[in-house]
Amino acid sequence: DGADLVVGPLARDAVAALFDSNPSLLVLALNHPDSTVNPPQGSAEFGLMPANDGTQAAARMLQQGIHSAVVFIAGADNEQRATQAFKAQFEAGGGDVLTVQTLPQGTVNYANEIRNAMPGLGANGGIFIAVPPETARLLMPQIRVARLRQPVFASVQVYGGSPNALDKDLDGVQFPDAPWLYDAQPGLPVRASLMRDLPVVAGRGARLFAFGMDADLLSPYFVWLQQHPGSYVAGATGQLSVDAQGHVQRTPIWVQFNNGVATPMAGTLNLSAPTQ
């Protein structure tokens, strides 16, 4: 009683059910419903969607003048979502996805898939991979052996969330991620200082922790952001804005492996205080 805001729920079906119920309170849902139902007037939805990785990668490649691409995918649901979004965004921008190669399970040899991806991929093409770290560490050396020199972009799951000596095999790979994992967003708790008491912050769980920080950050601002197009808050997962339909739009930073270390790339995001 006395509440004027609901933060949550997390499950997709629960979000859809809440939206359909026409709630009397404002809602900041922490996922997107599978349906096409938009949030009720004045409410918003916020989630870390695999599709966002594909959209971001496609846009970045197009910005760099890359108009042909091949895709390697391991096959999990989140990887398929990222790949579908990549293909849609890349083709909408005039790009050509030459092939999507699904890497077989139970083997470490991807020579056939790489060979199938090579025809038509010129020097100005690019490669998008939607695979976990273990698969990427097997795939990247084989791509280099095949003498494919095109730039490689990846979905966020390519990085396990903490340094690993085996990531030297991933040097050069670029991917979008939450700035807080790299202490790239001023004004937030230093990640290393939290690891001592919260072990979950050390690995993949760090992104969910950043998501929780941003849910708290957005709670008092999302209505204002929706009413002020072009404004954003600088969050743990990236720049956050809210569109007219109540969808929180998230712009992450770009990160690249250098000498086995995932390092934020200069100039990929304006990290600053809230605008306007």
Tell me: the pLDDT tens digits for 170-202? 999 999 999 999 999 999 999 989 988 888 898
Task: Identify the pLDDT of residue 266.
Answer: 86
Mean pLDDT of the chain: 93
Q: What pLDDT score was predicted for residue 32? A: 92
Task: Give every residue of the chain whose pLDDT is below 70, as ranges.
Answer: 1-2, 268-276
**What integer pLDDT is reported at residue 272 of this predicted model?**
43
Q: Spell out the domains of the chain, with CATH numbers in brackets.
A: 5-49+201-252 (3.40.50.2300), 51-158 (3.40.50.2300)
What is the model's pLDDT at position 276? 42
Please choose, from the candidates 178, 251, 188, the residue with its C-alpha nearest in 3D space to the C-alpha of residue 211: 178
pLDDT in tens, 45-78: 999 999 999 999 999 999 999 999 999 999 899 9
Alpha carbon distance 192, 201 (integer Å): 8
Phi, psi at 19, each rounded to 5°? -65, -40
Structural contact between residues 138 and 105, judged by C-beta atoms closer than 8 angstroms: no
pLDDT at position 3 is 75
